[in-house]
Amino acid sequence: MKNRCIRIAVILTFAATCLTLFSCFHGSKAPLPATQEITIAKSSVGTNFSLHLNNDRFYIVYPALNALSLNFVDIVDSVNLMNAAGKPCSLVVRDTTYLDRISYTPEIDINFGRHLFLAGGSTRHILYTDLESEGNLVLKWLSRTDDDDAWRIDSLPGLRYPLIGRLGKGGEIQAVVAEDGALSLYILNKDRDLKRISTTVFPSGDFLAQGDISVVQQDDFWAFTAYDGSSNRLYWVHVKDNEIAAQAVYTAGKTHYSTIENGRLLILIFEPLESTITLLETKLIGDSALEQKSFDVIPVTLCEGTTSVFLASYEDRRFFLFNEQTADQEDKRSYQLSLLYPAAKGSQYRKVPLVTGDVDIERFRALQVGDCLYVLYLQDELRLLSLSLADISKED
């Protein structure tokens, strides 16, 4: 593992300069795209919620504050609904299931409801933490197939909450766990046996994961980005051949999102000290290495109060999604979920508010499926918003 951050190459192109000048505090004359929304939960939802897609079916996992529980939501897929109703990118809740009480006390912390959702074929898995009593935090494993009548639940003593996980070819779970200031790779099989197979250490000597964990997975390629609160660095962590390799890449990134596009690694970051969203971009060599260990650093936009970011791509255009605080001339605060994107022609960028209100948008999670963008966000209620990026392109 490298002991220093990857060298940053700052590239201020004309397009990047235009993005920087497009402040979040100014309005846009761009037409509002057509959106659909459904309510997932009306109140008392914790911030550790997630949105997933597997075999054309959508799933949501969220913690309920009033019941101190973890809940599972099954959703009709967009393709079937579009064929039936002619409404692209729409979704309908099929079923909501109470999974398990996960805390003995209503005095919850930031870890309440933390979980991993994994799916392969007809089988679904959920790993989550359960505070059964004071000082007794237990990792549990739920699993279920389409043929099962109920979820199977098991406890995993001695294992801390995994940052990421994936299903192996034999049905086992591979999980990366932060423990003792390091990252360790575990194998968890169907008999619930634990096996640690590799560990990597960090220069700070005490890796402390904070904020977003963003997974990048394509076929056998498996990596993620995570922010280390001990060294105040964002790390790129790659898992290959049962080994973990980590490289520091930036000095901010508690709020970030990572993806791969055309062989390039893209990391979208909110920098609170600069009130700026920044895009890091570099080429991947083979299936792990970063080209010349450098990034192009592209300023995107100014904003405040951002807790979640997402990057979508459609027809060679990038769409930047983020929540933010805004203020009018009388300094009255409001909150919105904003979409920033380039116009079809020229270098102009447009910003449209997808959601506005006087209640804070605490965070969101997003998925892109084809031209459809799905956004699960918490603003008092937990709601699922969907829209077509193709429709935006038509408006241009």
Architecture of the domain defined by 7-395: 7 Propeller (2.130)
Mean pLDDT, residues 146-152 taken together: 90
Q: Is 307 helix (H, G, I), strand (E, B) or coil?
A: coil
pLDDT tens digit sequence for 3-15: 334 444 444 333 4
In this predicted model, which residue has the larger pLDDT, 94 or 59? 59
What confidence score (pLDDT) does residue 288 get? 54
Say whether pLDDT at 300 is over 70: yes
Read off the DSSP letter of residue 82.
H
Read off the DSSP letter of residue 304.
B
What confidence score (pLDDT) does residue 367 get? 96
Read off the DSSP letter of residue 33.
P
What confidence score (pLDDT) does residue 41 get? 96
The residues near 369 (Cβ < 8 Å, ≥ 6 apart) are 53, 78
Say whether pLDDT at 294 is over 90: no
Mean pLDDT, residues 26-40 taken together: 75
What confidence score (pLDDT) does residue 328 get? 82
Nearest Cα to Cα of residue 297 among 322, 266, 329, 327: 266
What confidence score (pLDDT) does residue 194 get? 81
In the chain, the percentage of residues whose pLDDT exceeds 70 is 84
Q: How many CA atoms lie within 13 A of 171 on its CB side?
A: 12
**Which of 19-33, 100-114, 196-210, 372-386 shows the lowest mean pLDDT across its residues?**
19-33
Mean pLDDT, residues 86-112 taken together: 87
Say whether pLDDT at 33 is over 80: yes
Read off the DSSP letter of residue 396.
-
What confidence score (pLDDT) does residue 42 get? 92
What confidence score (pLDDT) does residue 301 get? 97
pTM: 0.90
> Residue 335's pLDDT band (boundaries 50, 70, 90)?
very high
Mean pLDDT, residues 148-170 taken together: 88
- Which residues share a beta bridge with 208? none
> Residue 331's pLDDT band (boundaries 50, 70, 90)?
confident
Mean pLDDT, residues 125-134 taken together: 91
Mean per-residue pLDDT of the chain: 86
> Residue 334's pLDDT band (boundaries 50, 70, 90)?
very high
Count how many residues are written for the chain.
396
Read off the DSSP letter of residue 264.
E
> Residue 291's pLDDT band (boundaries 50, 70, 90)?
low
Contact assessment for residue 79 and residue 89, using Cβ atoms and an 8 Å cutoff: no
Mean pLDDT, residues 346-368 taken together: 92
Mean pLDDT, residues 146-150 taken together: 89
Torsions phi, psi for 95 (to 5 deg): -160, 145
What confidence score (pLDDT) does residue 279 get? 98
Cα distance between residue 232 and residue 293, in whole Å:
19
What confidence score (pLDDT) does residue 79 get? 55
SS (H, E, C) 194-241: EEEEEEECCCCCCCCEEEEEEEEEECCEEEEEEEECCCCEEEEEEEEC
What confidence score (pLDDT) does residue 13 get? 39
